[in-house]
Amino acid sequence: MHRLRALLPTTAILVCLFAAAPAAAEPEGLTLEQIAELNQVVDIAISPDGRHIAYALSVQRKLFEEDDGASWTELHVIDRDGDSRGYVTGEVNISRIGWTPDSRRITFLTRRGDDKHATLYAIPVDGGEAQKLHAEEEGIRDYSLSPDGERAAVISREPRSEREKRREELGFNQQVFEEDVRPFRVHVVPVGDHGGEQQTMDLEWSAQSVQWSPDGSRLAVAAAPHELVDNVIIRTRVHFIDWRSGETTAQVETPGKIGSFAWAPDGAHLGLIMAEDANDPSEGRLATVAVDATTPADLLPGLEGHVWHVGWRDARHLYYISYEGVNARLGEIRRDGSRDRTLLGGDGPVWDLLSVSDDGAVALGATAPDHPREVFRVAGNRRSAARLADSNPWLADVALGRHEVVRYQARDGLEIEGILIHPLDEGDAPHPLILQVHGGPEAHYSNGWLTAHSMPGQAAAARGYAVFYPNYRASTGRGVEFSKLNHGRPAAEEFDDLVDGVDHLIEAGIVDGDRVGITGGSYGGYASAWGATYYTERFAAAVMNVGISEKISMLGTSDIPVELYQVHYLTWPWEDWDLYRDASPLYHAEQARTPILIAHGDADPRVHPTQSLQLYRYLKLIDRTPVRLVLYPGEGHGNARAASRYDYSLRLMRWMDHYLKGEGGDPPPHELDYGIPEEKEDE
């Protein structure tokens, strides 16, 4: 049900302290069924006056009770006293939450009623019905309200002509690959009851996001030359636009990838996250640029970390979140790069969302080893933060495995860092191990919540496994130089780091070297395939999810070939066929002896499903190790639907149980017992 009326408070959320869980003699560990019930905060927005924090809550669909699909996303609001109430709840999907400048209404995108696409709505914070502010024929990608609240800058796809629509009705629905892609345009439109004409900005590039300057004079628009994934990732740039004339006044010349950006309160500067150079695998440098200028200034040159969130305390000071190692730091710095200081850091929660009010109040999202992402508010002294929400109160009754930060030396002497979740019952060591490898590789694990449908984490710990999450070379969180250590050398030292980490845990007496499994998705799936082929003698089981098996065809079928070349390979296949071949698990398939479960969405545009099909077929023909391929219809680069996610988590753990703790041999039966109620099975 759509519930778009602001409700009376129903839940009082205590600040900082929560009621203790009922006493239990033997608290049980997390189950796969409980993972399928976990909710988490996915977005936050503090009101301009700092009195309320709106947040989007991802609520998983109830298996066997609701129609299958992706998680719902609800709108909730917390006040200064910690009282939380739902504003848009139930079977809804809201996104892009914000506030009107007067702090009286919460804005968001959603579909309701007869809406065919995402539409802009606002709901009063004091109660009342949601009001439609603006709709576009092709839906709204992003929006930003003017400082007076009378207009909105909206981004929508360029609509098809009537002639094109008629031709499609007649059956001419062919696609001209990568050529008939329609761009996204920026329009300034009146909202609500305000009158006026729609105005289209004179920007030929395809718009990705937009922010209206606080002084009302400019729009900052992130746009790419063409609406192709490669262009969006690599070539997106920020443009300053005079909204009255519609003309672009400047383009910020960042050297590579860019991330989030935010206006200074006086509208004179923009804070933004950018890459250090064109070959930097990830944005992560904190920079500022004056309005209508073109050259940004790096405020933290040489930072051995990655900044991914930025906001402004006032016109002279910026807030930012920097990921450094397995921790995250909330910092403050002057606009000129001086007086950098840490406000919140250390071994506490991992800050990963940031929102700042007009008076400098700060709201954060954060995870911790014992909970998924929740809402926090920074105290007035900016030296502590209070947790305001508890989206999974039942977790208080679940026993969780202990987290430990592990550091070890790779074989060439480089220090590598990771997080180990110990088995819930730490007796009877050594333990079987699941090595969980992150994707990217421009990503990293932080010491927060590390359990999801594709990362068994605490559910595996409850079954007696140790689970290790290494940040191998090429990960983020250690600075640009560290993130480039695999450039032109895929599957070399970066994957050696994984085996070296396993050896470290074996030598420490924690892990049984004969019972080690490896799993991961995307680049982590690539590592899993590498572990099952090239490093087959080291792994007794592997689960490869949306992974890479053959580098040459990967480049030719992916939607990011230029990105792969520019920030990873640094050479094209026709320039060095041997590099691509030797780094492909497929070319090491004959030596494989590791039982491998392969999973893939059959609509994956990033890593084409033929990557999994090729490895499966080769291993099946060679016939020297158990192999199974599971395809998920309609799923892309990672499962989104509740049933697909649950199926994958069940298959992953059953494969590990069978080969690391069970009898091994032939694969377990391909059918699963989902625990579907009998009445549902018979419908």
Residue 613, burial from CB neighbour count under 10 angstroms (0-12, 13-18, 19+): middle
Cα 571 to chain centroid distance, Å, stands at 28
pLDDT tens, 178-218?
899 999 999 999 997 777 889 999 999 999 999 999 999 99
Residue 334, burial from CB neighbour count under 10 angstroms (0-12, 13-18, 19+): middle
C-alpha span between 505 and 515 (Å, rounded): 12
Q: What is the pLDDT of residue 333?
A: 98
Cα 425 to chain centroid distance, Å, stands at 31
Strand-pairing partners, residue 134, are: 120
Helix axes 493-507, 523-532, angle to 10 degrees: 70
Instruction: Find the Cα–Cα–Cα–Cα dihedral 660, 661, 662, 663, rounded to 10°.
Output: 60
Buried b (16+ CB within 10 A) or exposed e, 536-570: bebbbbbbbbbbbbbbbbbbebbbbbbbbbbbbbb
Q: What is the pLDDT of residue 26?
A: 67
Secondary structure class of 483 (helix, strand, coil)? helix
pLDDT tens, 229-286?
999 999 999 999 999 999 999 999 999 999 999 999 999 999 999 999 999 999 999 9
Residue 65, burial from CB neighbour count under 10 angstroms (0-12, 13-18, 19+): exposed
Q: What is the pLDDT of residue 606?
A: 96
C-alpha span between 668 and 125 (Å, rounded): 54
Collect all residues with Cβ–Cβ distance below 8 Å to 432 and sequence separation of at least 6. 464, 465, 466, 511, 512, 515, 516, 517, 656, 660, 661
C-alpha span between 137 and 118 (Å, rounded): 10
C-alpha span between 296 and 220 (Å, rounded): 14
pLDDT tens, 535-589?
999 999 999 999 999 999 999 999 999 999 999 999 999 999 999 999 999 999 9
Counts of helices then strands in the chain (DSSP H, E): 13, 38
C-alpha span between 47 and 125 (Å, rounded): 10
Nearest alpha carbon to residue 468 among 430, 443, 436, 498: 436
Q: What is the pLDDT of residue 14?
A: 32
Collect all residues with Cβ–Cβ distance below 8 Å to 388 and sequence separation of at least 6. 13, 15, 53, 78, 82, 84, 374, 375, 376, 377
State the DSSP string of 604-635: -SSS-THHHHHHHHHHHHHTSS-EEEEEETT-
């377990």: which residue's tokens? 668
Quick check: bond before 441 cis, omega within 30? Answer: yes
State the DSSP string of 521-586: ETHHHHHHHHHHTTTGGG-SEEEEES--S-HHHHHHHSS-HHHHIIIII-S-GGG-HHHHHHT-GG
Q: Which one-letter amino acid corresponds to residue 281? A: P
Specify whether the CB–CB gap between 451 and 424 falls below 8 A. no
Phi, psi angle pair for 462, to nearest 5° = -65, -20
Neighbouring C-beta atoms of residue 651, cutoff 10 Å: 18
Secondary structure class of 590 (helix, strand, coil)? helix
pTM assigned to the model: 0.93
Specify whether the CB–CB gap between 74 and 59 falls below 8 A. yes
C-alpha span between 615 and 611 (Å, rounded): 7
Nearest alpha carbon to residue 243 among 216, 207, 205, 209: 216
Q: What is the pLDDT of residue 683?
A: 65
Supply the DSSP symbol for 507.
Answer: H
Q: What is the pLDDT of residue 3?
A: 33
- Name the stretches of the chain with pLDDT < 70: 1-26, 681-683
Q: What is the pLDDT of residue 128?
A: 87
C-alpha span between 333 and 339 (Å, rounded): 6
